[in-house]
Structure 1
């Protein structure tokens, strides 16, 4: 090819190829730059330096010595197993033993890493300058790394520049007879020096033995103790081996699994269990043998994921389910430990017993049974998914999240039991909460804190300094809970159980259609048919000039097209939109997203203000809102649009006569320039625009808002997260599934009672104010007393079948295209929204009721607590009262506080705008607000420095300040004499613990957002929401005995009431 290709062509090809490889590094594509994971790039470019940083800052080196000892113990047990074989010939045994004895190991990192100055010497030729462009930096790094690879290939060294040293993994290299245990694999939660020995063996010991087992799988058995290809088996043994093992795709991993569990079990049985510590929550009545298997199984606990059969049939590893059930069901010890009846799924009559009787004694031969079982499992899956359903496959390894925080003991019997696990404590009674939820809380309190930090200097870092070592999600634990909720809904959607519930079936039909579109054949067929469906819909809206050669202008009717759009469920009409922003009211207004790009102009303005040292106007945009106008005035301004007819056609036709009068008094407008500008108003635009242009505009607007549902962009379809689609478009149905299957309803009345306690403390705070006048106090107290609440969901959702009844007008058929389904859902949601406006239902159908959130509706004086927020780990019925008050109680008080923030103070007990403050009190209160604004402006944030904008965040800061004061009051009223302690904090001051628990709400990884974005946030930074809030509480300084004038006990403190 080189000889035949012209030199000019070759030169062009090589240059173009280089440009293709280097294009992303040029950083000229904004999408590429914005999606770039800079931390991952740094780790990938400098894995050795990253490892050193991890080891020096986050790793317990004591683990290395312990793990090294475990490798030797595993070798001894493996050798013992080989020698006890009754079928292997002596020649084979001795060679196998020799291979194990000569097995090399790297525990954590090669010895060269310990050399002082090694990394500096390795990269001495790399000179990166701050003035270098990103492109130039990458070129320099690539050059040095290539030189390292060449050096590695030419020198016998274990310093491998291609190794991924920060993988949480262990591996066996057959060509070197080398076992490598990487540092992250030897770190919490997978391994810790404090774990009992049986935990270390069940997890790490099992994996070490598994990797050793690869030395005897179909690849490993062909190499000797030096890693060289050599036939070291006795001929008879080799024949027997080949006869029984046929080299199927997953066989090597199954052999390693079988050898691993056998070897680890041998090590476990040698332990003196009388000296071993128990795991919290697993008392004397729970055997360590059972616990051993529970711990070992944690290695393969994973979230159900979606993959196709082709992938599973070619994957080298068996499924996670098989790696537990398949392996343990072949262990006689498992069945004996759990007393499983012979013939039960986990104790089949035919199994590969690891006895020493006859030729079935050695796992190298008998593990062929695994293959048979696995093939049966795959065939079963084929039957299940033959209609293009998808299969679960192994995901990322989700091992121990600190054993104490994840294990739950089984019910007392083997009968299915979905109630809360009962913890049996047989030791001396102690007043400590040992439920699984309290164990998780104890894990967070212990492991997220950084004890090296002085609480009087930086309490956020003290309470949350190690949070990032225990999470893989961005943001707080609320974000993690949102991921968990999604995973649970996805798990339900993947189940193939038949349901009689209309809402459940609607969810599954939508999910399956969404997933099926990712199949190439289905995607292509959809592309052929969906455009025809679209064209028919466009014709039903009105005559479109692009579809008609002889378009007749006289047939154009603006209101007819707008009404037809309304009939399709649209509430966005291009010219205007209909909204229900905060309350069950219909607001007609402009399309906000057609205004200039907000982020772009915000960034420019922010830079201009900062460069010229101009401070922002302290007045919040909310205060500059336009005055409300009557609906009749709006109609007079735009007589060309029949708003009455449009609104009527948004209602379900079967309920139109009932609802249309109920919504008449719930229509509002505002003095937007779109309607009231003297020159460029909507009426003028309609009159001056040619009808042909107007018709095209309306149709193109429809297309713009429909394009995503057509599913003709293959990349967008492949990236579509179908569980998100279901939760987003069928939120009420998703809520029903979550509540029925995963939620403890006992939490709802507890939180409802907690709200009343918090309201009582809030009222006391107002009453005890030494500056507010009686008139102001009475009005404020009345507002709290009249504040409504929705805990979890409206009462109308409670009766059996209520949610299914709400979906009676939504009919999704399996034969529908995804586009048709989305059309039906949009129309259904619009009808439901009109029910909401007519006050026939309490909850906005568009509200994301599966968010992990609580919120306050300013226009309804309504406090809403959503279901996921009422669930573990944020709340649990078994938590002590002081935990509920410090965590959930604060959030409730925070939301109530929004009724008295810069916006809430303008509205009365009914949510109406009314000034109920005396003039003196209003002035005093706003002066106290300024204290918080100044405090935030001057706050030295660890991520953003002294660059934050207190005017932007004042609403949230006020709610935080009021919430912290109120929840502390509620806490101090508790009778703590009988409240259980948290594990590990039995002798810790309860007031100090209160602040630690409170701070957990805001623990989050370091924020890497650009400063210009941070300046636009309405919430303060997480650091300030702990340090800023607590430093304003004299109670914090007293609890931790912080010196006056220290960062957490400043002389000046901000108070509101």
Structure 2
């Protein structure tokens, strides 16, 4: 059979070229729509599987307690898992993320690449840091020296009367209070009775000025303890025993006769004196009342209007000032403008000093020095304070020597250690992303000004100018990478690896003189106010700048690889917090140049104070079971609470703008939480932490920050977007009936 044509009746009709084109176009359109739908569905359900995302998810989930309703107690929901798994170490009074990151920082600083690394050729400043560290960890030599380093230098400050014989004959005849407390100030960084310092003039941020202030710190922390009754009685007994045991140990090492009755009598007099000094301090005038503190006058007015007298000896303010400033070759005339922060304190101090002898005063001022110097002595000396620290803070044991030493070197040679830390652990990629986030959050802050019905247009313009003028510092100063700069910074320091105590004394004098000699210098607003190896962030009202050291630019606060929801909930909240410090109840009194100057209209400032009182009242209603049901002091923590509440609001708004620009982020693995929810979760987990009962009490009495749990609960109760993210109804504990909102 041969092949033949297909019958006509069976042939398919042919399509024209136009019809073919139309079909192709329709098919392509359908394909595009399908692909787009698939891509949209895929994107919305995409899971981020990078190492950063996986680690972030694991960290977040591991700290949570998902059995808790987030609308009932978001802190417990966020941190319940962490609280169950973490016990406060014996070396800590409280424990949380900051402590964990600090411990990791200590490991970095100790490592073979930093303080323990031997380098043949390096900047002299870096070698000095390593020498100081080596002297600190040399326990064998420190134990061999015992208390001798302290005993040898006590004559330089007219001795400790209860720890020597014949004090009146050997020292009392030439003793002047001005001489003693001046030397303790400039040489040993110990501020007793009179807090004298040189700092930026609040009224002129380009200049430095001398400040006279009331005594700021005490052995028993706050005035409540000096009642020595109830819950404070044990702390008082431990404090007196610390002083008694130390005086007794010194007398023993000196081979002197010991009369416990006599020592106890002197100890009692010292505590009575300190109690009276505490009573003379002004508790009503909070440190943030800068306008009331700014009392500018000539030096001669102190002698004229604030006379003090001890055993018929008149205190000469000009002589006292000269004793300090002569050490840096600066002459201070009678006409020198100074700031007297607390005139009422010096009036009351006159009555206090009239009740005591020069021996009492000398016992007290030297005690305030020696009680902190036992840190650098042998174990028998350090042990005299162990019971006191345990009663006061609940800490049972000391930190490992190498940890304590790493922190000590960092606190004294922060630029040198910052250089070593940056070289070892800091990613330069962090700066660019931080700059972008700061820009976003600053814009949100400024944009929100338009929505503030309580603020008039004139004040809004001034607020915007100040916000725009805030300078930012990220990571570290470039100067620390320059050998010449670094060496010059520490050129006056010379350490011995075998003389830890002498190294301590050298640091005290160096640090004090460094600031005293600024009196005649213009303020350098380009100078960094903090080192790089620091787990914290700062705002300075005097120079109107925010600082984010390299140490805090790490997870969970920040990472280039973790989702932006976590970055904004972490370091983003911190950025907003620090910006807002320029507008809290303290920062609001400074203008864009850092001068103590009113830029508010009267009506706007009255409204600001009214709205701020809402926060003070809200936080004062929180009571804390761990502190025996004590209520927080919302006035003491007002600045930080204002900054917390505004910080979380601004960071969230900035994140939502990021999403609008860039689209939703892929979800984290292992959780069905949205990124809005993850934002709040990471914010809360930054504050996961525990306190010992003793530290809880100190926190309420002394800390300007609210305890961590209430930092989370208070700020989120005031933020409706949180309730929306977790579908909380109006009756939920996390929804406030009276929302506080300033910025």
The two structures have a TM-score, normalised by structure 1, of: 0.50
Q: Which digits, 9 at most, give the CA deviation of each residue in 1:402-433, with x for residues without a partner?
A: xxxxxxxxxxxxxxxxxxxxxxxxxx9x9765
Which has the larger Rg? 1
Distance (Å, rounded) in 2 between the aligned partners of 1:585 and 1:452: 57
* CA distance, structure 1, for counterparts of residue 158 and residue 741 of structure 2: 63
Match of 1:230 in 2: none
Q: Which runs of 5+ in 1 are unaligned?
A: 1-427, 609-616
2:145 pairs with 1:459: no
2:110 matches 1:490: yes
**1:459–1:1048: 8 Å Cα contact kept in structure 2?**
yes
Q: Secondary structure at the residue paired with 1:569?
A: helix
| C-alpha contact 2:556 2:570 (8 A) present in aligned 1 | no
8 Å contact from structure 1 (residues 736, 803) kept in 2: no
The reply to whether residue 448 of structure 1 matches residue 63 of structure 2 is yes
* Aligned position for 2:196: 578
Displacement after TM superposition at 1:807 (Å): 1.1
1:830-852 CA-partner distances (Å, limit 9, x unpaired):
23223566357669999676441
CA spacing shift, 1:988–1:705, aligned 2, 3 Å: closer
Secondary structure in structure 2 of the residue aligned to 1:440: helix
Higher relative contact order (CA 8 A, sep 6+): 2
Find the partner of 1:997 among 682, 696, 700. Answer: 682
The 1:850/1:987 distance shift into structure 2, 3 A limit, reads: same
**In the TM superposition, what is the alpha-carbon distance from 1:959 to its structure 2 partner?**
1.3
Aligned CA distance change for structure 1 residues 534 and 791 (closer, same or farther; 3 Å): same
- Does the CA contact (< 8 Å) of 2:430 and 2:559 recur in 1? yes
Matches for 1:426-575 after TM superposition, within 5 Å: 436-471=51-86, 474-491=94-111, 492-496=114-118, 498=120, 500-516=122-138, 518-519=139-140, 522-523=141-142, 525-527=144-146, 530=149, 533-534=152-153, 537=156, 569-572=187-190, 574=192
Per the alignment, do residues 589 and 512 of structure 1 end up closer, same or farther by CA in structure 2, a change over 3 Å counting?
Answer: same
The separation in 1 between residues aligned to 2:740 and 2:167, in whole angstroms, is 69
Deviations 1:254-283 (A, max 9, x none): xxxxxxxxxxxxxxxxxxxxxxxxxxxxxx
Return the alpha-carbon distance in structure 2 between the equivalents of residues 619 and 565 of structure 1. 27
Counterparts in 2 of 1:605 and 1:995: CA distance versus 1, 3 Å: farther
Q: Do the aligned partners of 1:545 and 1:696 also contact (CA within 8 Å) in 2?
A: no
Residues 321-720 of structure 1 correspond to what in structure 2 (within 5 A)?
436-471=51-86, 474-491=94-111, 492-496=114-118, 498=120, 500-516=122-138, 518-519=139-140, 522-523=141-142, 525-527=144-146, 530=149, 533-534=152-153, 537=156, 569-572=187-190, 574=192, 576-579=194-197, 585-593=209-217, 598=222, 600-601=224-225, 622-623=288-289, 626-634=293-301, 636-637=303-304, 639=316, 641-651=318-328, 656=329, 667-673=338-344, 675-676=346-347, 680=351, 706=373, 708-709=375-376, 711=378, 713=380, 715-716=382-383
Partner of 1:29: none
- CA distance in structure 1 between the aligned counterparts of 2:326 and 2:50, rounded to whole angstroms: 54
Say if 2:701 is the partner of 1:1034. no
The alpha carbon displacement at 1:1050 in A equals 4.3
Conserved? CA contact 1:674–1:680, under 8 Å: no
The number of residues matched between the two structures is: 603
Residue equivalent to 2:653: 969
Deviations along 1:176-223, whole A, 9 cap, x unmatched?
Answer: xxxxxxxxxxxxxxxxxxxxxxxxxxxxxxxxxxxxxxxxxxxxxxxx
Answer yes or no: is the 8 Å Cα contact 1:509–1:813 preserved in 2: yes
Map 1:739-888 to 2 at 5 A: 739-815=422-498, 817-834=499-516, 838-839=521-522, 850-888=533-571
**Cα 1:872–1:805 shift into 2, 3 Å:** farther
**2:658 aligned counterpart, secondary structure:** coil
- Quick one: distance in 2 between partners of 1:602 and 1:697? 15
- Post-superposition CA distance 1:941-990 (Å, at most 9, x none): 67676944433333222112211221122112114646753531686433
* 1:598 Cα offset (Å): 1.5
> Partner residue of 1:237?
none
Are the aligned partners of 1:460 and 1:1026 in contact in 2 as well (CA < 8 Å)? yes
How far residue 774 of structure 1 moved from its aligned partner, in angstroms, is 0.8
Distance apart, 1:467 and its partner CA: 1.6
In 1, distance between residues paired with 2:508 and 2:174?
A: 28
Q: Secondary structure at the match of 1:588?
A: strand
Q: Does 1:911 align with 2:533?
A: no
What SS is found at the alignment partner of 2:596? coil
Q: Distance in 2 between matches of 1:605 and 1:919?
A: 45
TM-score, structure 2 as length reference: 0.69
1:730–1:924 CA distance, 2 compared to 1 (3 A): same
| Alpha-carbon offset, residue 878 of structure 1 | 2.4
- Mapping of 1:934-945 within 5 angstroms? 934-939=617-622
Deviations 1:982-1023 (A, max 9, x none): 531686433222222222222234774576445434323333
Cα distance in 2 between the residues matched to 1:489 and 1:939 = 39
Offset of residue 888 of structure 1: 0.8
Q: CA deviation at 1:811?
A: 0.9
The match for 1:958 among 642, 648, 669 is 642
Cα gap change, 1:978/1:1037 in structure 2, threshold over 3 Å: closer, same or farther? closer
1:891–1:963: 8 Å Cα contact kept in structure 2? Answer: yes
2:581–2:587 Cα contact (<8 Å) kept: yes
* Superposition deviation, residue 604 in structure 1: 7.7
1:793 positional shift: 3.4
Q: Tell me how far 1:706 sits from its aligned partner.
A: 4.9
In 1, distance between residues paired with 2:490 and 2:148? Answer: 28
Distance 1:593 1:1049 in 2: 39
Q: Against the structure 1 CA distance between its residues 595 and 695, is the aligned structure 2 distance closer, same or farther, given a 3 Å change threshold?
A: closer
Decide whether the 8 Å contact of 1:748 with 1:791 is kept in 2: yes
Paired residues of 1:948 and 1:1014 also in contact (CA < 8 A): no
User: SS of the residue aligned with 1:951?
Assistant: coil
1: distance between equivalents of 2:352 and 2:527? 31
